[in-house]
Amino acid sequence: MTPQLERPLGAVWSPEGACGFLLWAPKAEKVDVHLVHPGDRVIAMQPVDGGYFTAAVEEIAPGARYLYCLGGQIERPDPASRFQPQGVHGPSEVVDSDFAWTDNSWFGIPLEQYVLYELHVGTFTPHGTFDAIIPRISELRDLGITAIELMPVAQFPGNRNWGYDGVYPFAVQNSYGGPAALKRLINACHQQGMAVALDVVYNHLGPEGNYLGDFGPYFADFYRTPWGQAVNFDGPQSDNVRRYFVENALQWITEFHVDALRLDAIHAIVDLSARPFLEELSTAIHAKANLLNRQVFLIAESNRNDVRILSPREAGGLGLDAVWNDDFHHSVHVMLTGEQNGYYQDFSRVGDLARAFRKGFVYEGQYSKYRQRRQGTSSQPISARRFIVFGQNHDQVGNGPMGGRLSQLVSFEQLKLAAATVLFSPYVPLLFMGEEYAEPAPFSYFVSHGDPALVESVRTGRRTYLARFEWGGEMADPQDESTFLRSILNWELRAEGHHRLLRNFYQELLRLRRDLPALFRLDKDALEVIEFEDTKVIFVRRWNASSHIFAVLHFNDEVIQIALPVPAGSWKRKLDSAELCWGGRGSQDADVLVSTGEVQISLSPWAVVVYAETLSDAK
């Protein structure tokens, strides 16, 4: 690679007052940089190898705005723009990447210590900005959160969107505060010992403001995703497309100090090459993390249950670090709601959830009624810390017709049971913003497109999607601003009534998870799970060298008594969701149980109880 091509894509400003531009535009014979503010200058770019163009511009300052003029005919923003202050159709802005970081002693935290809190910047606070999140970090930390996960922040059209319609992967959303504000947020998180994960979208780009096709063959001719054109990761000239996305990922790790990337819907990335893009990305990210002496992770979203994404690269895998486990969520959701529409039809038994506890995936090669084919591979050999589990997330809430949260679907007792099921699992937990205090606001799908035809297309697409799940009734209009406004959190509720009780319950669950070594250590081998299908009970026993616990999860609305195979010893109750302090009807059992190999306990409806062995020689 020539020296000109070794520098970063886009506009890179130096304190000496010069700015270097690098653009890949093999479709253009001639490219100019048009500086539109301040003043009005046109600078010819020089063609170099492989369809690249470069320019060095003197006497330019951060805040200067520019467009690329292709072939002397059309003007477009920079595909590698760092900031789009006027939105997806306006000029790109030169930025100063320097920032006064104060996290020099931050090296990240191990993945097994992550307690993720997924949030949408625009609805997490009434202001909808990065800076508005900062005052809430300490409260999340006190709750027990160790990492926030930001839904995508790459520039999207308008000022309200989930983020998956982003069209400038390098640019930080202007309405959220832009790149400097994101750095302030990440720096503040690190100062308080909290990691930051960022959701990135490499399987497609949004429909509005997507001008990449004017520059080069960024999109595949033969593949499509559910959201539009697939990215060209394996066709002619795909090496430079890969470079674009790998460089984007490295930007988040290096310039923004992000600790983990959540890769959206990698099952929609079609790549038949001998060395897949995701393997190349994994290699680049982990190599950079080693150079930086930081712990950095790649977390995949995939609906295939394919453990090869987690397998080492030398064993033919992609070398990613963790995967969202939808099977765990679906099992919990069905046990709580009884829903059987769409993909939920594949989950109906207590045994499904017990299997998810034991192994990770429920579907490891069995036939799926929903997919009408076999699904998945065995996840038994994969370590527990590589599965992310949740009772709710943006997809599972927002893809309903009105964006109803679990708090709108089930009882207070069931919310407590859902929380304990996730947090007492041997996996890395994720909470969705507001679930910890039973946020009543919906989280609906919303957009703010400027093209009326596109808006109607989005509405039609949503109706078609919901029809696949046989969800009838009213649909929240994605374009209507009120749909967005209704989705903003009512954060003050966390201190009131049953909202406060639930938040305190989450805090106690997370404290137990930290303080009891058997819960803190993520290990599927030090785990026993027994399901009782007739009573809808799951008995979970976990241990390590210094700690031994059992938890009982009761997914039924009746008071029952049940005999459980508890190892001989003395066991002290650590938590009962039916206790009065948690808004329950009162505990049914003694504080201490003495077992000779079996104990009889009473369980309230939708209850969870946890006991820890009191002896020092716990298994």
Distances (CA, A) of 38 to 59, 65, 68, 92, 468: 11, 7, 16, 13, 51
78, 165, 234, 264: which one is catalytic?
264
- Please say if 613 is a catalytic residue: no
CA 291, chain centre distance (Å): 25
Q: In whole angstroms, give the CA distance from residue 513 to residue 614.
A: 17
Q: In whole angstroms, give the CA distance from residue 520 to residue 513.
A: 5
Burial of 535 (0-12, 13-18, 19+ CB in 10 A): middle
DSSP string, 102-138: --TT-----GGG--EEEE-HHHHSSS-SHHHHGGGHH
93, 208, 259, 301: which one is catalytic?
301
In sign, the C-alpha dihedral spanning 323, 241, 155, 99 is positive
Establish whether the linkage from the previous residue to 38 is cis, with ω within 30° of 0: yes
- Residue 608 forms beta bridges with which residues? 553
Asked if 136 contacts 125 with a C-beta cutoff of 8 angstroms, the reply is yes
Kindly provide the b/e burial profile for residues 217-237, where b requires at least 16 CB atoms within 10 angstroms of the residue's own CB: bbbbeebebebebbbbbbbee
Helix (H) or strand (E) holding 553: strand 547-554
Asked if 421 contacts 608 with a C-beta cutoff of 8 angstroms, the reply is yes
Asked if 318 contacts 278 with a C-beta cutoff of 8 angstroms, the reply is yes
Q: In whole angstroms, give the CA distance from residue 137 to residue 128.
A: 15
Q: In whole angstroms, give the CA distance from residue 330 to residue 549.
A: 26
Residue 272 in tokens:
């038949």
Kindly provide the b/e burial profile for residues 327-360, where b requires at least 16 CB atoms within 10 angstroms of the residue's own CB: bbbbbbbbbbeeeeebbbbbbeebbbbbbbbbbb
In sign, the C-alpha dihedral spanning 574, 575, 579, 581 is positive
- Please say if 321 is a catalytic residue: no
DSSP string, 474-512: ----TT-HHHHHTTS--GGGGGSHHHHHHHHHHHHHHHH
Residue 354 in tokens:
């017990």
The catalytic site residues sit at 264, 301
